[in-house]
Amino acid sequence: MVKKHRLIKGICDKLRGITAINFQMKIKEVLKIYYETKNKTFEMPRPQGGDKKNDGYVKEDNIYYQIFSPIQEKNNLTLKKEILKKLENDLKGLLEILYKGKRWTKKLDKFIFLVNTFDNELPEDSNNEYEEIRKKYENLYKEYKLNFTLEVKNVEYIRDILKTLSEDDLEEITEYLDLSYLNDTIDNIRISDVYDVICEISSKFFEKDFKLPLNKDYIRISSEEKIDINDLKNKKERINEIISKLDIVEKAIEILSNDIEDNEKFESAKEYIIKTYKKLRTKFTGDILYDKIIEKITKFLKNRKVFSIPVEYLVVYIFDRCDIFEKEKEGNK
């Protein structure tokens, strides 16, 4: 419980210290991880095409979020005025898009307006002004028979939902927020180590001497068997192709091994991938597990599309060395 409390405190302190679009993006990722644990879908509309008055929504529950963080701390009176103005503007725009534009779930059951109040409490709403705004738009849309709740919350709301998560889920959030130092894991894994190793592997793709014919003899029987044992038949051709080119990864590791600190980064990255596999295999198997491992690792890297291929190469390298995925069928263990 002490560790869980420390993780939650670290996450909330981090969120309070960021502003504007950064606050929005971090909150969205926290909510996404939270709703995944509840087997619900938290969708985040793409930012292209202007302000959609929707920073994320839960498809199954018709819950919509708007996230607001001032650039700097403000007194309660000023902040309250800004909240009221933005709240009404966002709610009005959302209802128009939902009911008249027929977008997303086409229905609103709950509207949550999340505000970064930094280290302060939310301004008082003694005159029930938030509720008056809700009633106003419920009446304006009475033809649609609206019946939704409206809540104005701050980071304390995030604290409450974090309390429902496991330590593993909280560790995933700390990794995304670059708070890995909060984890008491022995390996002390950091996302930055994975990033450095992936960068080194990426550089090997562009070396002139890499244009070599495929080495058909490289594929080992053990890897072929592992592909079948782990039900990776749809990935078989892809995995075998990568295995035939694993000299890319080996060259990167050779360079990293020349420096003690860099060699430790590779070991850290390797342990992170093994840890990711162990966590995900409790929920997924086969091709889906393979994709989820790559998705989880690239999730915390900038330029995900650029790094997805070298990440896959590193995963297959570890797969080929029998460090992840099953080596025997259940009955043979």
CB 212 within 8 A of CB 265: no
Q: Do both 173 and 110 map to the same domain? A: yes
> Once rounded to an integer, what is the mean pLDDT over residues 268-277?
86
Span 171-190, average pLDDT: 66
- The pLDDT, as a whole number, for residue 187 is 40
State the pairing for strand pair 63-68/110-115. parallel
Judgement on whether residues 86 and 135 belong to the same structural domain of the protein: yes
* Residues 175 and 47 reside in one and the same domain: yes
pLDDT value of position 212: 40
Lowest-confidence region among 51-60, 77-86, 255-264? 255-264
User: In this model, does residue 193 exceed pLDDT 90?
Assistant: no
Which pLDDT belongs to residue 189?
47
pLDDT higher for 183 or 324? 324
Q: Is the separation of the CB atoms in 113 and 90 below 8 Å? A: yes
Residue 24 — pLDDT band, cuts 50, 70, 90? very high
Given a cut of 80, whether residue 242 has pLDDT beyond it is: yes
Q: Check pLDDT > 60 for residue 93.
A: yes
Whether 241 and 304 map to the same domain: the answer is: yes
Average pLDDT of 237-264? 85
140 plus 254 within the same structural domain: no
157, 301: one domain: no
For tokens 């700390």, the residue is 174
84 has a pLDDT exceeding 70: yes
Please tell me whether residues 166 and 202 are part of one structural domain.
no
Report whether pLDDT(218) > 50: no
Q: Report the chain's mean pLDDT, rounded to a whole number.
A: 85
Angle between helices 20-37 and 155-162 (to 10 degrees): 30
Task: Tell me the angle at which helices 247-256 and 191-204 cross, rounded to the nearest 10 degrees.
Answer: 120
On whether both 20 and 116 belong to a single domain, the answer is: yes
Task: State whether 311 and 258 are in the same domain.
Answer: yes
Longest dimension (CA), the chain: 77
Domain range for residue 19? 2-182
- Report the pLDDT value the prediction gives residue 155, as an integer from 0 to 100: 97
| DSSP assignment letter at 19 | -
Confidence of residue 293 (pLDDT cuts 50, 70, 90): very high
d(CA 156, CA 149): 19
Both 173 and 196 in one domain: the answer is no
Judge contact between 192 and 261, C-beta under 8 A. Answer: no
Number of domains in the chain: 2
Q: Range with the lowest mean pLDDT among 215-229, 245-259, 293-307?
A: 215-229
pLDDT for residue 4: 84
For residues 41 and 115, membership in a common domain is answered with yes
Determine the 3-state secondary structure of 124 from DSSP: coil
> Is pLDDT larger for residue 213 or for residue 278?
278
Window from 105-114, 147-156, 235-244 with minimum mean pLDDT: 235-244
Q: Is residue 150 scored above 70 in pLDDT?
A: yes
Q: Report pTM.
A: 0.63
Question: How far is C-alpha 88 from the geometric centre of its chain's CA atoms?
Answer: 30
Q: Which residue has the tokens 């504007």?
A: 20
110 has a pLDDT exceeding 90: yes
